[in-house]
């Protein structure tokens, strides 16, 4: 019993850390403009829209975060073998990983933006100097929290995989959850605020991203300020739920019904989420109704 209570406590802590990791990951990728909506940032100068948005996209978020979290967890594991305090080991691992991320950011911004020179897109040194450190700070939070989750899974819940392997797995899952929940909000709701709210972006509007803020030109810091309100928490909830429920169903039900308890709990959870999804879909259709032409609504 005591073991189960401890397990649930660790599970809750892991879920909370994962929620923070998800929120930081999405904000980092939105400020750094990494992930799928970045294609519009890359496309904009080619369509004649010069901008001051950070243009990173070193690779998709999942493999990039898989790498960074694997580095963080790997270095932390090495320090743990030297009998370092776990908290210190995880911090040192995350610092090494975040320097790799910073190098990727710098080379990604310079390389990608330089490739747009023929479309008159300048490389803004002030953007590089001010935003790289901001993305590194957010990445540090995401990597630290994910590595801490992996450490809890390994040391407290006794998962058979080694710490670096867990870092790779949960780094990829973190990136997948963040890009699924956060990317649409950044891509549509932020980059295309010049488009009608409550409708998809027409293909003909590709590349025409919003480039001006309330005062002066918009930079990616404004994007971080905006997406922290919804996309960050949404990604955090997504990743937090994945980590929490995956651990919860195993810790609580693994010994029930000769091992089938965790399987049944998982199936019940899937059915619950299916029901909620259907409810959201029906609510959206009823509340917003069919699509209407912009001319009709503006009159």
**DSSP structure class, residue 201:** P
Closest contact distance (angstroms) between CB of 126 and other proteins is 27
Q: Is 108 in the site for other proteins (CB under 8 A)?
A: no
**DSSP structure class, residue 82:** T
Closest contact distance (angstroms) between CB of 125 and other proteins is 28
**Residue with smaller CB distance to other proteins, 46 or 274:** 274
**DSSP structure class, residue 153:** I
Q: What sections of 115-230 are H helices per DSSP?
A: 125-151, 163-184, 220-227
**Residue with smaller CB distance to other proteins, 220 or 235:** 235
Closest contact distance (angstroms) between CB of 193 and other proteins is 11
> Stretches 12-20, 85-93, 101-109, 271-279: which one binds other proteins (CB under 8 A)?
271-279
> Stretches 77-85, 98-106, 211-219, 258-266: which one binds other proteins (CB under 8 A)?
258-266
- φ, ψ of residue 254 in degrees (nearest 5): -65, -30
Rounded CA separation 264/249 (Å): 9
Q: How many residues bind other proteins (CB under 8 A)?
A: 86
Footprint on residues 278-297 left by other proteins (CB under 8 A): 278, 280-281, 283-285, 288, 290-291, 293-294
Rounded CA separation 42/76 (Å): 36
**Residue with smaller CB distance to other proteins, 189 or 221:** 189
Query: Is the separation of the CB atoms in 191 and 74 below 8 Å?
Result: no
Could you tell me which of 64, 53, 63 has the C-alpha nearest to residue 131?
Answer: 53
Query: Is the separation of the CB atoms in 139 and 28 below 8 Å?
Result: yes
Query: Is the separation of the CB atoms in 18 and 176 below 8 Å?
Result: no
**Residue with smaller CB distance to other proteins, 105 or 176:** 176
Q: Is the Cα torsion angle 281, 201, 39, 212 positive or negative in sign?
A: negative
Helix (H, G, I), strand (E, B) or coil at 205: helix
Closest contact distance (angstroms) between CB of 63 and other proteins is 7
**Residue with smaller CB distance to other proteins, 69 or 91:** 69
Could you tell me which of 172, 211, 132, 183 has the C-alpha nearest to residue 21?
Answer: 172
Footprint on residues 161-190 left by other proteins (CB under 8 A): 161-162, 165-166, 168-170, 172-173, 175-177, 179-189
Footprint on residues 43-72 left by other proteins (CB under 8 A): 60-63
**Which of 13, 39, 128, 228: binder of other proteins (CB under 8 A)?**
39
Footprint on residues 185-244 left by other proteins (CB under 8 A): 185-189, 191-192, 197-206, 230-231, 234-235, 237-238, 241-242
Could you tell me which of 143, 148, 62, 34 has the C-alpha nearest to residue 98?
Answer: 143
**Residue with smaller CB distance to other proteins, 61 or 222:** 61
Q: Is 260 in the site for other proteins (CB under 8 A)?
A: yes
Note the residue count of the chain. 299
């Amino acid at each position: 019993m005591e073991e189960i209570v401890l397990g649930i406590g660790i599970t809750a802590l892991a879920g909370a850390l994962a929620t923070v990791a998800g929120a930081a990951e999405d904000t980092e990728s939105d400020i750094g403009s990494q992930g799928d909506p970045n294609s519009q940032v890359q496309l904009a100068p080619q369509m004649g829209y010069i901008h001051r948005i950070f243009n990173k996209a070193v690779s998709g978020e999942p493999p990039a975060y898989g790498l960074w979290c694997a580095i963080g967890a790997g270095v932390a594991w090495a320090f743990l073998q030297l009998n370092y305090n776990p908290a210190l080991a995880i911090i040192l691992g995350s610092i090494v990983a975040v320097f790799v991320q910073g190098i990727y950011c710098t080379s990604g911004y310079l390389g990608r933006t330089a490739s747009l020179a023929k479309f008159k897109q300048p490389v803004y040194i002030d953007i590089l100097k001010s935003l790289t450190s901001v993305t590194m700070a957010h990445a540090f939070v995401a990597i630290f929290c994910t590595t801490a989750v992996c450490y809890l899974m390994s040391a407290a819940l006794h998962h058979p995989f080694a710490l670096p392997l867990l870092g790779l797995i949960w780094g990829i899952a973190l990136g997948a959850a963040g890009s699924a929940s956060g990317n649409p909000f950044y891509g549509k709701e932020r980059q295309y605020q010049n488009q009608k709210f409550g409708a998809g972006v027409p293909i003909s509007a590709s590349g025409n991203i919003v480039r001006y803020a309330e005062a002066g030109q918009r930079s990616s810091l404004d994007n971080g300020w905006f997406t922290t309100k919804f996309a960050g928490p949404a990604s955090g909830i997504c990743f937090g739920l994945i980590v929490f429920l995956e651990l919860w169903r195993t810790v609580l039900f693994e010994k029930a019904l000769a091992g089938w308890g965790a399987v049944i709990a998982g199936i019940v959870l899937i059915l619950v989420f299916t029901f909620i999804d259907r409810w959201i879909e029906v609510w959206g259709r009823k509340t917003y109704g069919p699509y209407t032409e912009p001319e009709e609504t503006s009159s």
